[in-house]
Amino acid sequence: MATSYHRFAGSSLGRLAALSDGVFAVAMTLLVLDLRVPSVSDGSERALGHALLHHVAPRLLPYGMSFLTLGIFWVGQQTQLESFTRSTRALTWIHLSFLLAVTLMPFSTALLAEHTSYQLSMAVYWLNLFALGLVLFISLRYADRADLIREQTTADMRAALKRRIVVYQALYALAALTCLANTYLAIGLLVALQLNSVIAPRIGILDRA
């Protein structure tokens, strides 16, 4: 009996990880393109300082937040891939969908940096975060059901992988909702969550996540 193409297509975890590394590297590099060198009309130091303060500095926070975001999701995806025994065509396309959301991060960041006071800009940025988390969660559920997870990955470890996504997505949503009061407050809370994820202090449910 002839072997179906779909039974062996997209089975290389190594190639998937390599592609992901490349896409993340490009997306993280594109973020900095939004930090444009300001033009100075009269060429004075004071004018340059004013331009840096009013045109560049406000974009640094969204840039830093998004760089942390991509770093966190890169670690999350790599952690997943390292816990899988192999890939399948379906799992590969799930992660390609994840990379689609990754490539949108420079756009959602630029939108938020350009229109920081707009609630719609924050909504678009949050939807980008939600898409990243949702696809990673779908990946875990699929891999679990398809028996693609290594035996060394215990039930507690599997639960921790899923719990982290759910907890942080809930916190991202709550932080984004504060934009109804103030968009800068929402950005500040998102940055705080990102820093917590990177530094990982022992704070209750955040530590368990």
The residues near 62 (Cβ < 8 Å, ≥ 6 apart) are: 34, 109, 112, 113, 116, 187
Instruction: State the residue range of the domain holding 190.
Output: 10-208
Please report the pLDDT score of residue 82 as a whole number. 92
CA pair distance 23, 30, nearest whole angstrom:
11
CB 164 within 8 A of CB 93: no
In a domain, 66, yes or no: yes
Could you read off the pLDDT of 55-74 as tens digits, one per residue?
777 788 889 999 999 999 99
CA pair distance 201, 198, nearest whole angstrom:
9
CA pair distance 129, 205, nearest whole angstrom:
20
Domain tally, the chain: 1
In a domain, 2, yes or no: no
In a domain, 189, yes or no: yes
pTM of the model: 0.86
In a domain, 156, yes or no: yes
In a domain, 16, yes or no: yes
Tokens of 199: 């530094």
